Amino acid sequence: MTRKVIVLGETRDGELRNVSFEGIAAARTIAEGGQVTAVLLGESVSQLAPTVIQYGADRAVVVEDSQLAGYTPDGFSQALLAVLEQEKPDAIIFGHTALGKDLSAKIASKLGSGLISDVVAIEVAGGNIVFTRPIYSGKAFEKKIITDGIIVASIRPNNISPLEKNAARSGEVSSISVDIKDLRTIVKEVAKKAVKGVDLSEAKVIIAGGRGVKSEEGFKPLQELAEVLGGAVGASRGACDAEYCDYSLQIGQTGKVVTPDLYIACGISGAIQHLAGMSNSKVVVAINKDPEANIFKVADYGIVGDLFEVVPMLTEEFKSLLVKA
Ligand SMILES: Cc1cc2nc3c(=O)[nH]c(=O)nc-3n(C[C@H](O)[C@H](O)[C@H](O)COP(=O)(O)OP(=O)(O)OC[C@H]3O[C@@H](n4cnc5c(N)ncnc54)[C@H](O)[C@@H]3O)c2cc1C
C-alpha cells in the first residue's frame, strides 16, 4: 500500500536540523513507494526547499509568515493544519525534539489521531508500519502499529539514518499562505545559553563527565578530547548538581536522551537514571577508577583507571592517529 507522508522540516538558526533528514528517510519507509512531502514553516525558509528534496523528499510545501519567525504552538499548528487540510496525508512525521514533542501532540489531538512518540526504528511487516520505541527508561522496547486514522509519529534524533544527499534530485516547491491569527503567545526574545561547538542532541561523539571529574576545571581534559574528535561534552546529573557544569549538559532520565556513535563516560557511576539517557549509544566506553562501577555493565569497552591520566592519553593518541590519517 502506498502512502502520502508529510515530514516537518525543523530548522534552527536558519538551518535544517539533521533530524529533518532522518524524518525524510523514515517517511520514505512509511510511504512504501508513495509521495513524501517536506513542510517548511518560518519567516524565510523557502531557500531550504531544494535541500529537503536533495535528501529524498519528492516535494516541499512552504508557509512563510513573519509570525512564524519563532516557534509558537498556536502559530505552527495553524500553519501545519492548513497544509494538512490541503495535502490530506496518511502519515505525519516529526523529530522527537523540544519543538516536535510539543507540536506532534497538539496536531495529533486536533486530528483525533493517536501519536507514537520517540520512535527509534520503523519497519514494514505484513502490510503494517511497525514502530519501535523504548519504554521504562530504555530498559525495554515496544512495537506499535496504528490500525486506524492518520499515522502521527515523532522520531528520536540520531537513530534512523538519513538518505544520501543527491544534488541532482529535483521536485516541486509550492507555497501556501495561511491567515495566522489570535496567537496567545508571542516570542519577544530568545536568550540563548552560550553553547560552544557541537549540539549535544545531534552529536556523533559525546564525552561525558560525572562527579569523578571533581570540578569545573576537571572538565577541561574532556573538552580537549571532544574537540579532537569533533564531539560534544555532556554530563551526569551528579556533575551538574555539584555545579561543575551547566544543567543543559545533563544526560539521562531528566536530562537529554542521546544516541551518538561513540559515548565516552568519564567518572560516571552508571546510575539507572543516567543509563536511561545514553545506553542506546552505538559504542560506549567507560573510564572509572572503580572496577565494580555499574557503567561497565553497559560499556562495550571499559578502562579501569584515573580519568585524569586516561583522558589526556586518549587525546594525544587520537591526535596522532588523525595526523597520520
Ligand atoms: C528522579 C531522579 C532523576 C534523575 N535523573 C538523572 C539524570 O537525568 N541523569 C543523571 O545522570 N542522573 C540522574 N539522577 C541521579 C542519579 O541517580 C545519580 O545520582 C547520578 O547519575 C550520579 O552521578 P555520577 O555518576 O556523576 O556520580 P557518582 O555516582 O558519585 O559517581 C562518580 C563516579 O566517578 C568515579 N570516579 C571518581 N574519581 C574518578 C577518577 N579520578 N577517575 C575515574 N573515575 C572516578 C567513581 O568511582 C564513581 O563511580 C536522577 C535521580 C533521580 C532520583
C-alpha 235 to ligand 1 mean position (Å): 9
**Residue 196 pLDDT exceeds 70:** no
pLDDT in tens, 124-176: 998 899 999 999 877 899 999 998 899 999 999 989 999 999 999 999 999 99
302 pLDDT higher than 90 = yes
Ligand 1 atom index nearest CA of 236: 11
Question: By C-alpha distance, which of 114, 210, 182, 207 is closest to 154?
Answer: 114
Residue 99 has pLDDT above 70, yes or no: yes
pLDDT per residue as tens digits for the range 210-220 = 999 999 999 99
> Is the pLDDT assigned to residue 197 strictly greater than 80?
no
Nearest to 268 by CA among 256, 243, 248, 250: 250
User: Which helix or strand (DSSP H or E) is residue 171 part of?
Assistant: none
Q: How confident is the model at residue 193 (pLDDT cuts 50, 70, 90)?
A: confident
CB contact burial 159-176 (16+ within 10 A = b; e otherwise): bbebeeeeeeeebebeee
Which of 77, 128, 126 shows the shortest CA–CA distance to 103?
Answer: 77
Residue position matching grid coordinates 561523539: 205
- Ligand 1 atom closest to the CA of 250, numbered from 1: 9
At residue 242, the pLDDT reads 97
Q: Which residues contact 15 (CB under 8 A, 6 or more apart)?
A: 48
User: Which amino acids bring their CB within 6 angstroms of ligand 1?
Assistant: 210-212, 236-239, 250, 252-255, 267-269, 271, 273-274, 277, 287-290, 293, 306-308
Task: Please say whether the beta carbons of 229 and 318 come within 8 A.
Answer: yes
Q: What is the pLDDT of residue 283?
A: 97
Q: Name the residue with the closest Cα to ligand 1, atom 14.
A: 273
Query: CB atoms < 10 A from the CB of 43, how many?
Result: 12
The structural domains of the chain, ordered by start, are 5-175 (3.40.50.620), 200-324 (3.40.50.1220)
194 — pLDDT class (breaks 50, 70, 90): low
pLDDT for res 312: 98
Summarised one tens digit per residue, pLDDT across range 217-254 is 999 999 999 999 999 999 999 999 999 999 999 999 99
From residue 49, give the alpha-carbon distance in Å to each of 38, 96, 245, 315.
8, 21, 38, 40
Mutate to test the pocket of ligand 1, among 137, 213, 233, 236 (most ligand atoms within 8 A of CB): 236
Pocket test for ligand 1, best of 237, 251, 310 (most atoms within 8 A of CB): 237
Q: What span, in angstroms and rounded, lies between the C-alpha atoms of 284 and 260?
A: 9
Please report where in the chains the cell 538558526 appears, as a residue.
13
3-state SS, residue 272? helix
Q: Is the pLDDT of residue 5 over 90?
A: yes
pLDDT digit string (tens) for 38-51? Answer: 999 999 999 999 99
Grid coordinates 496525508 are at which residue? Answer: 89
Q: Which residue's CA lies nearest to atom 6 of ligand 1?
A: 273
Position 45 scores a pLDDT of 97
Q: DSSP secondary-structure letter at 136?
A: T
Which mutation among 217, 219, 240, 253 tests ligand 1's pocket best, with the greatest number of atoms within 8 A of CB?
Answer: 253
Lowest mean pLDDT segment, chosen from 129-133, 157-161, 198-202, 304-308: 198-202
Q: Which three cell numbers stand for residue 200?
A: 549535544
Q: What spacing in Å lies between the alpha carbon of 241 and ligand 1's midpoint? A: 10
Q: How confident is the model at residue 202 (pLDDT cuts 50, 70, 90)?
A: confident
Counting from 1 in the atom list of ligand 1, the atom nearest the Cα of 255 is 8
Residue nearest to atom 47 of ligand 1 (CA): 290
